[in-house]
Structure formats: C-alpha cells, structure tokens
Chain A
Amino acid sequence: GENVEQHPSTLSVQEGDSAVIKCTYSDSASNYFPWYKQELGKRPQLIIDIRSNVGEKKDQRIAVTLNKTAKHFSLHITETQPEDSAVYFCAATSRAGKSTFGDGTTLTVKP
C-alpha cells in the first residue's frame, strides 16, 4: 500500500520567514496531493492541493510543488504570520479515492 513520509516533524520560524515542508510517497498510482492545516482541537482543513498532471501551484503566500519522478511534493509558505502556526498534513490520494496522510509537521511562527 501507499506510504507517505513527512519532514520535518516540527518547524519553528520567525515571522516573515519562509517555511518548507516535504513529503515523499511510494505508490506511483497516487494522483492527487492535498495539504491540510489542523489547529489544536479542530478539524483538518484543505489549504492547497495539486494534481499529478501539474508541477506547481500557487495561492497567495502558499505554493506546492510536485516531482512525480522522484515521488515527492513540498509545501512552501512565504511571509509567515503567527496565525500560520498549526499542524500541517500532506496526503497522497489514489485514483480510487483512498488517501494516505503523513504524520504531520507542527509549525510555530514566532512573532
């Protein structure tokens, strides 16, 4: 089955700096890669996603890149703000719809 590894597990940055979170996946059949933000005690919420026929996608301060050959994808957050502090999860989704999540990255943005 699919295996998703996410790094780093914790990340601390100064406000205004950039943050990068990386994920690798094992199943070449995975074709949809969402990123979720989860605040303490709350539900995961989608922040950005990318499909396997696209290499990069950007939405304001957030961008995601996908390298299908290497089976890795990354989340980039620029100009970080304290409200970006949360746990971020990547996921790899197969054509059949099953999603495998990484173990999460706890991002702390220091004012």
Chain B
Amino acid sequence: GAGVSQTPSNKVTEKGKYVELRCDPISGHTALYWYRQSLGQGPEFLIYFQGTGAADDSGLPNDRFFAVRPEGSVSTLKIQRTERGDSAVYLCASSPSNSYNEQFFGPGTRLTVL
C-alpha cells in the first residue's frame, strides 16, 4: 500500500512569510509525528498526535509553530513569521499506535528560508 507522503517536497520562502507543510499518513495509522532534521543531526521531535488530538507538543520550539490533524488523518504543520533558523527537513511519521510500534517516515519537506 501507499506509504507516508509529504507535500511539498521542497519549499523556499522568504523570512517572515507563513508556510504550511502537509503530511498524509498510512491509512489506519492513529499516531502521527512531526520531526525536524538539520544537517548532520538526528530527527528532533516536534509534536505527536494520537487521533485528532495533540498528545505531546513539547517539542514545538515556540508559538510560531502549530500543527493540526482535524480528522485524525492528514496533518498540517504551520509555521508563522518564518526565520532563517527554521530551514531544515521536516519529517512526518505515522504508526499504528504509539509506543512499541515502528514509525514509518515520509520523504520529508525541505524548507529553505531566505
């Protein structure tokens, strides 16, 4: 079946602009995760959804970052007033439930803030 997909694959924006990044998880997966990966580092946890609700948003760096998953499937990560430091690859992953389950990663969105 189809894996996790993310759109767009690349996004270039100017400092101060608003961006939305989309994640389509594997059908039926209740858990969805957002990570940010900078060059040479491991994925950094941002937020985790169980169904429609954010079970843990402790990784969101500040209030410019927000994520939603209104119907328990597709999720959107929203970044307001982008800064150059936001440039990274944003990875989404899904799993059948939370712990003890493999997380299936999407291909990522490479965000570049000029």
Contacts and interface: CB of A to CB of B under 8 A. Distances in A.
A100 B99 contact: no
A8 B41 CA distance: 13
B106 A43 contact: yes
Interface stretch (B20-28, B44-52, B63-71, B78-86): B44-52
B43 A89 contact: yes
A12 interface: no
Chain B contact residues (Cβ within 8 angstroms of A): what range? 20 to 34
Contacts of A98: 45, 48, 56, 58-59
A38 to B, nearest CB: 9
B55 A96 contact: yes
Given A89-B42, A101-B42, A102-B42, A96 B56 contact: yes
Interface in A1-59: 1, 4, 6, 31-32, 34, 36, 42-46, 49, 51
A97 B55 contact: yes
Contacts, number: 65
A42 to B, nearest CB: 8
B103 interface: yes
Contacts of B58: 1, 98
Contacts of B14: none
Interface of A: 1, 4, 6, 31-32, 34, 36, 42-46, 49, 51, 89, 91, 93-104
Interface of B: 31, 33, 35, 40-45, 48, 50, 55-56, 58-59, 91, 98-100, 102-103, 105-108
